[in-house]
Structure 1
């Protein structure tokens, strides 16, 4: 029998139907020479500290650092998992071949490899590598099964990531809790979690310490158009007032009118991060909500694999695009013009050098029947971007008008859309229409002149904005560096912190641990979060840039340009150095408990005045503490 193992029961059912394994058994399907079974995501995990050494069962500074000579895996202790694993183990030990049908990514590879190792599988293993779950894609994947060896670097990168997170998380959390928390609260520290929290805390500190400074802007209104002084800001009000008096009562003269024609390319296709950013901006969805929605669309065969970090398609997708467009029946009015002729093939869309394991997220052409409103919103964003990439560029004219009053120079710029091109694909709301209208300029002629209305406005410098989930995701993607150009953003992606598939979970963890909270769309650090970052003096643990370097090395392990054992050795050395530094620290950076902190006894309550916690399991007994607020 050939045993196929998928990551979810629903995916296993689809695969079984296509392979002809129609007979349901306990925990698998059978038929036509196949047995198709499944996991529930992770069935295995790395062992706990005490499973390597009894000395590590209890939290003690003297037992740190905890560095096992060899890492091992164990089955997660849960009845449903144990029951399903017993089925998998029975099938695999009798299989003539195994087909790994896990999600086609680093995490999917790790999940299935650990299960096969734990089950003691010894037969040959093939890999099903597909980007969508349509019948066509699954059949094509089984016709072109790949050898497991091709994905060894992917597994090694996933294993190195898991071991690295264990080494840093287990050691640093115990270290800082024992040294600074007075045994009253767990201080959770993580390889990606802590630098992400540091981004939010540092931004809040920038805002808190910001001192606004005044400046003045000289403007004038001519033909219902605001012209700005070319000198820009005036730090000295007296200088600006002299110029204001000089131009009052004199005519405004247009000295130059220049129109430059140009093009705007369609917006890029979505990778996971850009989709999460757009959904947060447009609909207020959290990163985690968007991930769940797009994962659901993928499992219902409506969109391609979501956990991707590229906005490009590979060349082999191009021949499939006409049939995908034809399947988008609800968008027939938009697809008809592009299907009427040969589809363009732009390098800004199709580029093999920009695609590794998977391409950008696109629709599959399967009709989206009976989906929720939120599903529809995400599906619509993806589908319109896909259609737009086959439309012509938007033709624009950028006009710059220069003028003067006496010798004081002014300038105004505006944009005119000459040919909408791809813009017809996107429906506009009223705000966008108003914004476009505000950028339009009336006609001007060089040499014309007339009366104007000058004004001097006092302005104040503003602090940086708080992070939203959208801007935090971008900051994580670029290791905290702010860039607007997509090309520069792409270059920084290799040093981003976390993976596209894990960033949402990291943000959710910060919420659960009461390190951050949400105020409208803004992310604000709690006092607990601020204190944790204050306590950590070791930059290696909270620098987004340094964490980004580790992420880059993990990607290089996938590319076989870096060695996994070297990465783990480096982390072992780093952990040992940090443990030594903190153990020998004689400064006072203890973590005091404050109002609003979680209850240190049960974690579910919130500390209030009077040495009590509200809403926790021990509230009835008073949950008293020996600490005065």
Structure 2
């Protein structure tokens, strides 16, 4: 019996249909010699700090740095049942082999391996590595299962990433939170991203706009422009000199040029385009694409490649034709050049994101709005990428007047190529194609003369633009890409960047502002203050990019995981031992809220807001809600005084509690019974009833 472990129930169902497992059980599907079960994302995770020492439940400077020697793991809260199912299945005597069918990437590998290690399984493991959820792709994947040892380095890289994030996150967050008196979330990747956004806003705030001037000569049908001039008087003088003068063109040069079709999407470029065109966040785009993948409409989304492999050349043209049917009239002749999108050397784990043959019978109108829009982007990109170049003629005209050179440029489309496909797509969506900035020039020749009317046009230099998700993703992807042999050294990975941005927003270090479609990412006062006090080692995009490159080296087997983690640990020790509080920090981090007590989960301060009494650390989740049903059912209020007593002693005495059963009142001692779940629970000890 082959036990197949997928990452999600929906993926498990698709696999079960292919292998012939059709008997649905509690937590798995069985049949045809297979048992197909699933994780629910991460079932096993790195244990919290207090697992190593109970005193670590409270945040104390004296306990830092916390550097586990023997790493421990725990089952994710709320997922214990499915973990038990997998353990029982793995221990079944009739199970002789296990197939890892989690997502074919770094995190997917980690999800399976941690489960496998936690249940202390010793049975042989095979790896299902696929890029599509189509039945044919799944079937082919099972015909080409590989020994899981082949992916050991991928696992080591994933585990190092998790441990490094734990070490930096736990120690740096506690260090700065304790020293500055409030929760300040710090991370190996999130802090450099925040620093980039703060730096951009600083550049915008100090920018001083400077005027510039150009002299323009209207030649009746086209306009010649001078270079930018900084001095207004010089521009006026040149304008007076040129006005009404006879102008002879000394150069009219025309060249035929071409614009190549765009590359296929990897996840980051899809997220960028989706943000730019549709206003979707990076996380929304990933979610929509993942859902399309599970519906077998697109290939695996978490990829950093923009090319296909040569073995796909035979079947992809049929996919192109199916995709073109979304917006092109039936029978339209297509240009399909697979050479433009095929490069084995630029595909590592997964090829670019493209639609599958299932789009041929897809009722796109039935898809949710977000999925529909993203699918159309992916469909359009494939058809364009294999299409013809856009050919155009470019004409550059030059003239000397008053001792200055004037130029004009014109552009004439000779063959639309892929641009014609884009126009057809936009027409079908009833959207106007973007107009080309350069217009065609009239027929003119070298030596032609014109009498001009001269004017001065004033402009102003503009500040850098606020980051959008489109532009910050580009900055993250290309951070320090000029280092060492021009290898790209980005921050984060395509699979993690969206989550990092969301965490920065959730922890109130960033915020989205702007209209519905064009939202900017702006640092909050708290975010700016945090970057102000963080040392360069924590906020350096260069250092983080180098760490990401080292994780890739581990994945390739060219670097020891021990060496990588040693560097992370040494940096953390140095940070704790050498960091000194910035003078005047009370101005950066004013304490405006009254502290009611310490959070029983993480040791941070608990403060009051409109709805309840909550831990300052938004990621902790501890909250005593004022409208708690436990109290309202007894006609009692969870007041500030009650909350303070519960936080101090873990219990509080309540008098005059109402009994729904008897209608009478009674006294009781209410105790906190917090298990770390979404809601805090309470227990009661009864005292003498009142008559």
Scaled by the length of structure 1, what TM-score is found?
A: 0.90
Deviates more, 1:397-406 or 1:41-50: 397-406
Counterpart residue number, 1:355: 347
Deviates more, 1:352-361 or 1:437-446: 437-446
Q: Secondary structure at the match of 1:234?
A: coil
Deviation at 1:217, TM superposition (A): 1.9
Is the CA contact 1:527–1:594 (under 8 Å) kept in the aligned structure 2?
no
Give me the whole-angstrom Cα distance separating, in 1, the residues matched to 2:375 and 2:140. Answer: 24
The structure 1 residue matched to 2:507, chosen from 513, 531, 534, is 513
Counterpart residue number, 1:365: 357
Is the CA contact 2:240–2:454 (under 8 Å) kept in the aligned structure 1?
no
Q: Secondary structure at the match of 2:141?
A: helix
The structure 1 residue matched to 2:293, chosen from 289, 298, 314, is 298
Counterpart residue number, 2:600: none
**1:213-612, aligned counterparts within 5 Å?**
213-229=210-226, 232-328=227-323, 330-331=325-326, 333=328, 336=331, 343-346=336-339, 348-367=340-359, 368-369=362-363, 370-427=366-423, 428=426, 433=433, 435-436=435-436, 438-479=438-479, 494-520=488-514, 521-536=519-534, 538-582=535-579, 584-585=580-581, 587-590=583-586, 591-593=588-590, 601-602=606-607
Q: Secondary structure at the match of 1:436?
A: coil
Structure number, greater radius of gyration = 2
Distance 1:46 1:605, change over 3 A: farther
Deviation at 1:391, TM superposition (A): 1.7
Give me the whole-angstrom Cα distance separating, in 1, the residues matched to 2:570 and 2:594. Answer: 33
Uncovered stretches (5+) of structure 1, i.e. residues with no partner: 482-487, 608-614
Aligned length: 600
Give me the whole-angstrom Cα distance separating, in 2, the residues matched to 1:451 and 1:381. Answer: 49
Whether 2:9 is the aligned partner of 1:9: answer: yes
**1:71-150, aligned counterparts within 5 Å?**
71-78=71-78, 81-94=79-92, 95-150=95-150
The structure 1 residue matched to 2:185, chosen from 188, 193, 200, is 188
Kindly report the root-mean-square deviation, in angstroms, between the aligned alpha carbons of the 2 structures. Answer: 2.8
Deviation at 1:476, TM superposition (A): 0.8
Deviation at 1:577, TM superposition (A): 0.6
Compare relative contact order (CA 8 Å, sep 6+) and give the higher one, 1 or 2. Answer: 1
Bigger helix fraction: 1
Distance 1:517 1:434, change over 3 A: closer
Give me the whole-angstrom Cα distance separating, in 1, the residues matched to 2:410 and 2:348. Answer: 40
Deviation at 1:525, TM superposition (A): 1.1
Counterpart residue number, 2:664: none
Give me the whole-angstrom Cα distance separating, in 1, the residues matched to 2:220 and 2:610. Answer: 62
Deviates more, 1:429-438 or 1:82-91: 429-438
Is the CA contact 1:334–1:425 (under 8 Å) kept in the aligned structure 2?
no
Give me the whole-angstrom Cα distance separating, in 1, the residues matched to 2:434 and 2:316. Answer: 35
Counterpart residue number, 1:612: none
Give me the whole-angstrom Cα distance separating, in 2, the residues matched to 1:322 and 1:212. Answer: 51
Give me the whole-angstrom Cα distance separating, in 2, the residues matched to 1:585 and 1:577. Answer: 15
Distance 1:617 1:495, change over 3 A: same
Give me the whole-angstrom Cα distance separating, in 2, the residues matched to 1:577 and 1:198. Answer: 21
Distance 1:597 1:99, change over 3 A: farther
Give me the whole-angstrom Cα distance separating, in 1, the residues matched to 2:416 and 2:55. Answer: 69
Give me the whole-angstrom Cα distance separating, in 1, the residues matched to 2:3 and 2:575. Answer: 46
Deviation at 1:451, TM superposition (A): 2.1
Counterpart residue number, 2:38: 38
Distance 1:431 1:7, change over 3 A: closer
Q: Secondary structure at the match of 2:551?
A: helix
Is the CA contact 2:594–2:607 (under 8 Å) kept in the aligned structure 1?
no
Is the CA contact 1:596–1:606 (under 8 Å) kept in the aligned structure 2?
no
Scaled by the length of structure 2, what TM-score is found?
A: 0.82
Deviation at 1:529, TM superposition (A): 0.8
Q: Secondary structure at the match of 2:228?
A: strand
Give me the whole-angstrom Cα distance separating, in 2, the residues matched to 1:606 and 1:453. Answer: 68
Distance 1:378 1:433, change over 3 A: closer
